[in-house]
């Protein structure tokens, strides 16, 4: 398999100018990813700034309520900024600094990746520009303000529907124009090579810890690892160190309202090939998940491949399912999960019931739900 190809998926379908920039990025990433100094720096910030390692919490009440396999929660919700995204942001900024970049650009849809990027840029004292569609800016005013508080410049993108897709295009254009000074910090395990491999690398700290933690607590591997899938970065990070453990089931949970793997077809989106939801005209579909972070018509190329080869399974949960799990976990464990993560919690409960109390399941709790509380308030009032 060529570097950056996952079966027929992945690759790099971009104009020549951008390809030159991405080739250089791939070389630099390959050079630093095994560099002891680089990795010591990465571990240092993960510990001192992000707050790792985070716990693998035994959800005793939930387990008792469901009846069946023990449910463990990998607590990415306890990271600084409240989700897994910061792992990747720190890794890429450290690479950007090694490459001599003096500014960072990023795209954001709902604003979560923009906030994680703005946060890390503030700490590393690097100027930061976030591209965001005008429609998204309207819907996510509070996150725009948050990014500005953190010192980032938010640039509205007016083209097309004024959403995530156009924001990515604007960031890629900007990268080609200013690549000598600028680093594009991409937020999920998507995009042209080397982004999916790079994001996976930085997020795989999740399963590096979780594998060690479960062996510590249970003395054996879990029956399954369950994670929600938007672009697929928290899921690939949670799967990575279990992929060679053939007996561990890897289960990605997509929202029914944006189920790229279950309902998509191979297509090229944002310069890479993946399973994509297309409308009748052949354009990426509008999606409508209640979880903003899962609302993307494509998915990481490695997930497309893991699905095709059968190594991972992909299932669906609806907005109503997620809302149910959101309330239940809050009430019986005192943990308010992100609506994204609640999709995974819902499916894990279903699966736990089918398994024996001797078994365990790890659910990657990708983020905390404080950001979703007012949305849930509005939904429940109706
Ligand atoms: C952004 C986000 C996701 C979805 O992104 P992936 O790349 O699929 O992980 C999931 N959970 C939370 C809390 C998020 O912020």
Query: Could you tell me which residues come within 8 angstroms of residue 173 by beta carbon, excluding any fewer than 6 positions away?
Result: none
CA dihedral 14, 204, 231, 165 (to 10 degrees): -40
Instruction: Tell which one of 109, 205, 294, 335 to mutate to probe ligand 1, the residue whose CB is within 8 A of the most ligand atoms.
Output: 294
For the chain, what percent of residues have pLDDT higher than 90?
93
Q: pTM of the prediction?
A: 0.97
Q: Which residue has the tokens 């309202």?
A: 257
| pLDDT tops 90 at residue 163 | no
87 C-alpha to ligand 1 centroid (Å): 12
Interval 120-156: pLDDT, tens:
999 999 999 999 999 899 988 999 999 999 999 999 9
Interval 17-48: pLDDT, tens:
999 999 999 999 999 999 999 999 999 999 99
Interval 168-182: pLDDT, tens:
999 999 999 999 999
Are 235 and 265 spatial neighbours (Cβ–Cβ below 8 Å)?
A: no
Are 169 and 133 spatial neighbours (Cβ–Cβ below 8 Å)?
A: no
| pLDDT tops 60 at residue 1 | no
Residue nearest to atom 2 of ligand 1 (CA): 293
294 C-alpha to ligand 1 centroid (Å): 6
């Amino acid at each position: 398999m060529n570097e950056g190809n996952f079966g027929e998926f992945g690759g790099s379908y971009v104009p020549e100018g951008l390809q030159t920039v991405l080739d250089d990025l791939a070389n630099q990433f390959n050079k630093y990813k095994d560099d002891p100094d680089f990795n010591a720096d990465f571990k240092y910030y993960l510990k001192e700034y992000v707050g790792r390692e985070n716990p693998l919490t035994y959800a005793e009440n939930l387990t008792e309520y469901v009846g069946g396999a023990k449910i463990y929660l990998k607590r990415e919700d306890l990271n600084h900024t409240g989700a897994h995204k910061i792992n990747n942001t720190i890794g890429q900024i450290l690479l950007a600094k090694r490459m001599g970049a003096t500014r960072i650009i990023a795209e954001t849809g709902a604003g979560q990746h923009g906030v994680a990027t703005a946060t890390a840029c503030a700490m590393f004292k690097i100027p930061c520009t976030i591209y965001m569609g005008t429609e998204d800016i309207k819907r996510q005013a509070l996150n725009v303000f948050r990014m500005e508080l953190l010192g980032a410049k938010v640039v509205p993108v007016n083209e097309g529907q004024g959403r995530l897709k156009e924001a990515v295009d604007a960031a890629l254009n900007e990268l080609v124009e200013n690549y000598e000074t600028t680093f594009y910090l991409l937020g999920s395990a998507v995009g042209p090579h080397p982004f999916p491999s790079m994001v996976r690398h930085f997020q795989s700290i999740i399963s590096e810890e979780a594998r060690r933690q479960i062996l510590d607590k249970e003395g054996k591997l879990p029956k399954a690892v369950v994670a929600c899938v938007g672009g697929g970065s928290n899921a690939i990070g949670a799967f990575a160190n279990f992929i060679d453990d053939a007996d561990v089931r890897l289960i990605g949970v997509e929202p029914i309202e944006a189920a790229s793997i279950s309902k998509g077809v191979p297509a090229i989106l944002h310069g890479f090939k993946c399973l994509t939801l297309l409308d009748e005209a052949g354009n990426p579909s509008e999606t409508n998940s209640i979880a903003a972070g899962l609302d993307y018509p494509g998915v990481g190329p490695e997930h497309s491949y893991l699905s095709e080869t059968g190594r991972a399974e992909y299932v669906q949960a609806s907005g109503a399912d997620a809302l149910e799990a959101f309330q239940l976990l809050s009430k019986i464990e005192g943990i308010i999960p992100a609506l994204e993560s609640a999709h995974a919690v819902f499916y894990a409960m279903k699966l736990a019931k089918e398994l024996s109390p001797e078994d365990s399941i790890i659910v990657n709790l990708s983020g905390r739900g404080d950001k979703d509380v007012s949305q849930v308030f509005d939904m429940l009032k109706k």
